[in-house]
């Protein structure tokens, strides 16, 4: 059985917009992907944590820094045929002051860690749906500002360039979904459904050997 690890933040965890609960396995995109691919003899492993960044430390908790947790996750889930990484939204928070170049460098660090662990591992980078104006009135308004919104919009082009340079597959989530306007960050049930379908299609086209 082939194994795919989905490494991400609250939108991989399945955080319900504005509510703080978690979507069930049949709703969140990773759960839907898991259910679909199980019939194709592929195991999908969900590794999403609320607030996770690429490489930035957050006093909320050590597990928020993706680079500090990735080695453990790689070892725990070994062997891994493919890793899907969707991170960058939390990197846009005011407190980190990061721009799109710094965030992309953080993602590149994660790619290097994964490749060092297993040079043969396939990688799919998903640029997250940008933060939108809903964040200004939602429960996370103190964490994001206009600059955060603009930086998040510029991630896709940077991630696309990085994917090409590092031989990774790439999916721009903004081409198919948007964050729910109730909080400007998180995906609603319909977005999860469409992201799952797009991710499966991208995986099948990019790495057909996983589906043999």
- CATH label of the domain that carries residue 203: 3.40.50.1110
Segment 57-73, tens digit of pLDDT:
998 888 899 999 999 99
With a cut of 90, say whether residue 27 has pLDDT above it: yes
* Number of domains observed in the structure of the chain: 1
Backbone angles phi, psi at 137, to 5 degrees: -120, -5
Three-state SS string over 137-187 comes to CCCCCCCCCHHHHHHHHCHHHHHHHHHHHCCCEEEEHHHCCCCCCCCCCCC
Q: Is 87 left (phi over 0), alpha (psi -120 to 50) or beta?
A: beta
Is the pTM above the cut of 0.95? Answer: yes
How high is the mean pLDDT of the chain? 97
Segment 140-160, tens digit of pLDDT:
999 999 999 999 999 999 999
Separation CA 58–CA 92 (nearest Å): 12
Segment 107-135, tens digit of pLDDT:
999 999 999 999 999 999 999 999 999 99
- Half-sphere exposure for 190 (CA within 13 Å, toward CB): 5
Domain of 187? 2-211
């Amino acid at each position: 059985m082939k194994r795919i690890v989905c490494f991400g933040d609250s939108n991989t965890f399945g955080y319900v917009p504005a509510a703080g609960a978690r979507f069930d396995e049949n709703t969140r995109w990773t759960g839907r992907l898991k259910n679909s691919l199980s019939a194709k003899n592929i195991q999908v492993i969900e590794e999403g944590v609320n607030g996770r960044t690429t490489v930035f430390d957050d006093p909320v908790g050590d597990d928020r820094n993706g680079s500090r947790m990735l080695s453990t996750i790689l070892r725990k889930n070994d062997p891994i045929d493919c890793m899907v990484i969707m991170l960058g939204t939390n990197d846009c928070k005011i407190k980190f002051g990061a721009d799109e170049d710094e965030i992309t460098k953080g993602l590149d660090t994660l790619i290097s860690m994964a490749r060092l662990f297993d040079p043969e591992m396939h990688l799919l980078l998903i640029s997250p749906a940008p933060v939108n104006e809903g964040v200004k009135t939602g429960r996370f308004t103190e964490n994001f500002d206009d600059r955060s919104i603009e930086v998040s919009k510029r991630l896709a082009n940077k991630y696309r360039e990085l994917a090409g340079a590092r031989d990774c597959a790439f999916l721009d989530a903004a081409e198919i979904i948007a964050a729910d306007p109730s909080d400007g960050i998180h995906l609603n049930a319909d977005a999860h459904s469409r992201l799952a379908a797009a991710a499966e299609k991208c995986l099948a086209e990019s790495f057909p050997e996983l589906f043999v």
